[in-house]
Structure 1
């Protein structure tokens, strides 16, 4: 039996330039407004048999705005960025340019002392592979855009550097179908 999992990227909690590594800020006013506007279309996700979310404030709040009442899953947390947590890419690049270059070039590198990109993708993939088959109603997970990117890289068995080429917009829905080790991306109208 197969799993049908819809990954919903959380509404935003800051502008792109203010994004911070491993940030746990709640939704900002614009994020609340966007989620409320999207609710009539996305409320259909509440029909899912199981509803999960990343443990971050913005994922929990996105799920609540949409009436999903999701269960927080620690395995769906964003990448552990170690000592870079709470800093922007610009701040880290200014302070540690070689470390940032190494991190971007080598998926096994973790110069920040946290999780490497490869470890992050593997953790998210392990979570995917342990989802129980549904009864047809499927599963939904409200997740950080980075978690959705990692899930896609894993599901498509793409090289880890593909992660950097995936653009996941707030409140976008990505559907994966399959079972452990055998996933496909389902594009829906």
Structure 2
């Protein structure tokens, strides 16, 4: 039995350099415009038997705008960043440079008082592994890019440091196929689609 889980990265709520830890801002106008442009390619995913989203406003709004009517999944929330919540990486670095360095170097560290990167990856992976197992079941989940990166690290059984080397763009899709503990990354799309990005 195999599942097909397609993650859709939430549309943006800010410019890349202004992204904040545990960002709970709604979609900005550029984000809404991106959803409208991508809708034609992403609307078919609404046919999935199960549709989920992260609890952030932008994930919910992205899912709703695409017609998914997704169910919020708390396990798909962003990493708990403790006292750094709402900061950009630059702001956290300016205030606590040694703590940020420790956090980036050790996936078990929690200098911010929140959740470690390793715990975050395990939480998202636990959600992935507990999806209902029905052969051929299709699932779509709209989530923050950080959640998708965590899912990929978990599914590929990659070292946690791989998390920092994955780039998940707004409204991109990533598909995993398999079942609990045995996942494969599936690349899809045509050369025409790739040339538009």
Give the TM-score, by structure 2 length.
0.94
The separation in 2 between residues aligned to 1:56 and 1:2, in whole angstroms, is 28
Unpaired segments of 5 or more residues in structure 2?
190-197
CA RMSD of aligned residues (A): 0.8
1:17 is displaced (CA, Å) by 1.4
The separation in 2 between residues aligned to 1:15 and 1:127, in whole angstroms, is 29
Conserved? CA contact 1:11–1:171, under 8 Å: yes
1:107 paired with 2:107, answer yes
1:152 paired with 2:188, answer no
The separation in 2 between residues aligned to 1:171 and 1:137, in whole angstroms, is 22
The separation in 1 between residues aligned to 2:134 and 2:12, in whole angstroms, is 29
1:89 is displaced (CA, Å) by 0.7
1:37 is displaced (CA, Å) by 1.1
1:53 is displaced (CA, Å) by 0.1
Residue 57 (structure 2) aligns with: 57
Conserved? CA contact 2:2–2:137, under 8 Å: no
Matches within 5 A, 1:44-123: 44-123=44-123
Query: Number of residue pairs matched?
Result: 189
Give the TM-score, by structure 1 length.
0.98
1:40 paired with 2:40, answer yes
SS at match of 1:133: coil
1:137 is displaced (CA, Å) by 4.7
1:50 is displaced (CA, Å) by 0.2
SS at match of 1:63: helix
The separation in 1 between residues aligned to 2:18 and 2:165, in whole angstroms, is 20
Residue 181 (structure 2) aligns with: 181
1:135 is displaced (CA, Å) by 5.1
Conserved? CA contact 1:107–1:161, under 8 Å: yes
Q: Which runs of 4+ in 1 moved over 6 A?
A: none
Residue 8 (structure 1) aligns with: 8
Unpaired segments of 5 or more residues in structure 1?
none
The separation in 1 between residues aligned to 2:99 and 2:32, in whole angstroms, is 35
Conserved? CA contact 1:49–1:135, under 8 Å: no
1:61 is displaced (CA, Å) by 0.2
Residue 128 (structure 2) aligns with: 128
The separation in 1 between residues aligned to 2:134 and 2:11, in whole angstroms, is 26
